[in-house]
Structure 1
Amino acid sequence: MKANESNWQNALKENPFPDRQFDETIKRAVRSRIGKRGGKGMKFKSVAFVCATSILIVFGLFYAPNMIGRTDNPQHLESRNSYYEGGELLLQVFPDPELKAGREYGYLFHFAKLVQKEIVGKELAIEAIHLGSNERVTALAPFIVGEPSSAEMNMERYVVRCALPIGGLWLYEVKLDGSNYASVVLEVGEPDWTPSPTFTSGSYEMRGIEGKIGFIDPGFVARKPNKYMWHAWGAPSELEGSFEVKAVKQGTQQMISVIEGLRFGGAINDADASIPSSMALPEPGVWRLLPFVGGRLMESIVVEVMPQEAQSVTTEQLKKVTPEMTFAELLEIIGESTDIGSGRTIRVYRHTGGAEIVLNYVNASETVYPDIYDTIQNIIWNE
């Protein structure tokens, strides 16, 4: 059995071809053919690569502008005044060459494909979004497009006037019936920070833009509320809607709310509308007031805010303070400075050595807070 098994194994080791057909000559021929096929494969891959590259270039030329207009990450947008879709121009915008933040400028909107008679009855609006802070401003309030006439707008050369609050890149979105139609990105220059001039209306001196917006200005002291009577000029439709005022300090782009939820009232002092208000700005320096009506910025007014002159307090006065005292008892010792709070009482004092003491409390019958007492003790200790 073992002998038969050995013969069988030896037979398997033998070449199955009778004349050793797969010799070196055949091997060289096979290698040669494989090499030729490899060359054709490489040529095919090269052609495929060129085709793919061409497709990408065509895609970029025709669709990249459209993708830029609809990007989900507007922080990466760059300035562009045209909008394409499917390779066709939809919109071009030509702003005033002097375009800056803080005042009203004109823009020429060229709608290359939008025909007025085809959009009669549709709502058209333009919104501007600041790409640094995401602040939104109404550039063109929504309105229903009417029938074409000599008095109607020309869609090929439609002029929009608007003001933007801060400089930088702004995305202008054109909306048709609430949906995005086209967009452009424009660079808005930094505004002038010279305090706004005063003018006379009626018998009062006002600060602002004569014939547009202004207020009777008693001056600004940091953190100190004061009353300001606003006056506005314009058609009733331009002064409708919620009146709010925001502010931005020179050197920053952070806008804070100063007034909100008011509406203009009757005409006084030769103005078309007016409204009383109370305003306070938190820090000394140069500030730009931004009055909005119905989400649309009217103009901007630059004011200078003076530092508050805190009431002086001496070390001898502070040594009389105990941790069991109420705020009312503390005020009997150091006196009552101006309350600059809103809802809470806030009084600011300055020690003769220069340190600031802020009393921030709700009720004068409360015991002096531990952190305020500790501040007083530290001032005494470091004297």
Structure 2
Amino acid sequence: MNKHKQWEELLGQSPFMQPRFNERLKKEIICKSKEKPVSKFYGYRFRAIIALIIICVGTLFITDSAAIFTKRNDELAPRISFQTEAVRTEYKVKGKALFQVFPDPALIAGAQYGYMIHFTQPFETFSGKSISIRAYHLGVGKQVTVVAPVKITEPSPGYKSLDRFVTRFGLPFGGTWRFEVDLNERFYGDFVLKIKEPAPWTESGTFDLPYEGVDGLSHKYVLIGEEGKVGFLIGPYQNENGELLDKQPIIAGKRNKYMWFFWGTKEELTGGLSIMALKEGTNREIDIFRTFTGPWNTQDSRTPTSMVFPEEGMWRVNAYIGNLLFGSITVQVQPQN
């Protein structure tokens, strides 16, 4: 028992030769107790910031890596540029031309013109695939399909490949445009053209559209636009004096109903219709009519619309079916009386 008692007494003694809790240690503990403890919240927030930085850096690395490894035709995927580019009618890869484009020398905005593209690769490159062309305005960023997908089934007449791929389209307004040629909806190449504006603008011509009336007699509509392509009805018109005129004036600020007519294939006329307009001297289109259904009809395509032009002057009216620019019409808008 005495041995156990001595052992307990030894356990109760300090293991240090001198007392550890002295006056100096006491003062240090008191000073520490007066300091403001660091909140766990700040620790958590610091770790969250570090994690966010790591995620951002990783995302940038992945994005850059994707851009590097998704090159097409040894070039980076084309991006829409809002800067001026030099005119270029040829597209090359590693110094070798894939194609060259020859536009109509009289090319201007607001009308249909022909383009001939000389492709250099063998016909097997294109056989059974579709070619389409998209246009990007390098000033305002306008995007429009100018050539809907065309399936290639045979070479150019008289040639072994697509030495003379001919197409025809218009541009809604002038400026520098980049045209991207797609093969099966994948980028194949591009070219850049400067499109001029007619100076001055002139109103589109009119043409007659015969029809048989309820009286069994032959009558005619008067349309403004491009015969056999697109136009809208402006006559015959009986004015307030009872005079029968071929053409009804278009008045600024006055909303009116207009019947539009389109001629083309069913594929060309499938999609929502939007009518945009821009005034002479500008390149900003305004939306004056839109419908979510296509104007297709079994005989021809006709669509009633309601349009108003905010100001007098010369206006170019651009008709889009889907994203395809189908045609442009220039009209004179008269001032209000």
Instruction: Check whether the contact 1:146–1:152 (CA below 8 A) recurs between aligned residues.
Output: no
Q: Provide the rounded CA distance (Å) in 2 between the counterparts of 1:195 and 1:72.
A: 33
Give the 3-state SS of the residue equivalent to 1:304 in structure 2: strand
Measured against aligned partners, the alpha-carbon deviations of 1:37-71 in whole angstroms (never above 9, x if no partner) come to: xxxxxxxxxxxxxxxxxxxxxxxxxxxxx879946
Per-residue CA deviation, residues 286-320 of structure 1 (Å, 9 max, x unaligned), is: 101111223222332111112234xxxxxxxxxxx
Q: State yes or no: 1:284 paired with 2:312.
A: yes
Please tell me whether the aligned partners of residues 69 and 83 of structure 1 are also in contact (alpha carbons under 8 angstroms). Answer: no
Please point out which of 213, 219, 223 is paired with 1:206.
223
Classify the secondary structure of the residue corresponding to 1:237. coil
* 2:250 is equivalent to residue 243 of structure 1: no
Identify the residue that residue 305 of structure 1 maps to in structure 2: 333
Aligned match for 2:297, one of 243, 266, 275? 266
1:196 aligns with 2:227: no
- State the alpha-carbon separation in 2 of the partners of residues 153 and 126 from structure 1: 22
> Secondary structure of the equivalent of 2:267?
helix
Aligned partners of 1:208, 1:72: CA distance in 2, in Å? 32
- Structure 1 distance, partners of 2:160, 2:260, is 33
Q: Is 2:180 the counterpart of 1:173? A: yes
User: 1:265/1:151 Cα in 2 relative to 1: closer, same or farther (>3 Å)?
Assistant: farther
Pairing 1:273-352 to 2, within 5 Å after superposition: 273-309=301-337
* Equivalent residue number for residue 148 of structure 2: 141
- Asked whether the equivalents of residues 273 and 294 of structure 2 are also in contact (C-alpha less than 8 Å), the reply is yes
Q: 1:263 and 1:204, CA in 2 relative to 1: closer, same or farther beyond 3 A?
A: same
Name the structure with the higher helix share.
1
Q: Which amino acid aligns with 2:88?
A: R
Asked whether the equivalents of residues 80 and 138 of structure 2 are also in contact (C-alpha less than 8 Å), the reply is: no
| Residue 96 (structure 1) shift | 0.5
Residue aligning to 2:134: 127
- Name the CA shift for 1:151/1:305 in 2 (closer, same or farther; >3 Å): same
The TM-score, its normalising length taken from structure 1, stands at 0.57
Check whether the contact 1:69–1:182 (CA below 8 A) recurs between aligned residues.
no
Q: State the identity as a percent.
A: 40
Q: Is 1:83–2:83 an aligned residue pair? A: no
- Taking structure 1 as reference, are residues 304 and 148 closer, same or farther at Cα in structure 2, changes over 3 Å only? closer
Q: Which has the higher contact order (CA 8 A, sep 6+)?
A: 2
Aligned position for 2:4? none
Aligned residue-pair number: 240
**TM-score normalized by the length of structure 2:** 0.64
Residue 257 of structure 2 corresponds to residue 227 of structure 1: yes
- Among residues 103, 107, 110, which one is paired with 2:111 in the alignment? 103
Alpha-carbon distance in structure 2 between the residues aligned to 1:193 and 1:302: 8
CA distance in 2: counterparts of 1:204 and 1:216, whole angstroms = 7
CA-based RMSD of the aligned residues comes to 2.7
Aligned equivalents of 1:153, 1:131: Cα separation in 2: 35
Segments of structure 2 that go 5 or more residues without pairing to the other structure are 1-73, 211-219, 235-247
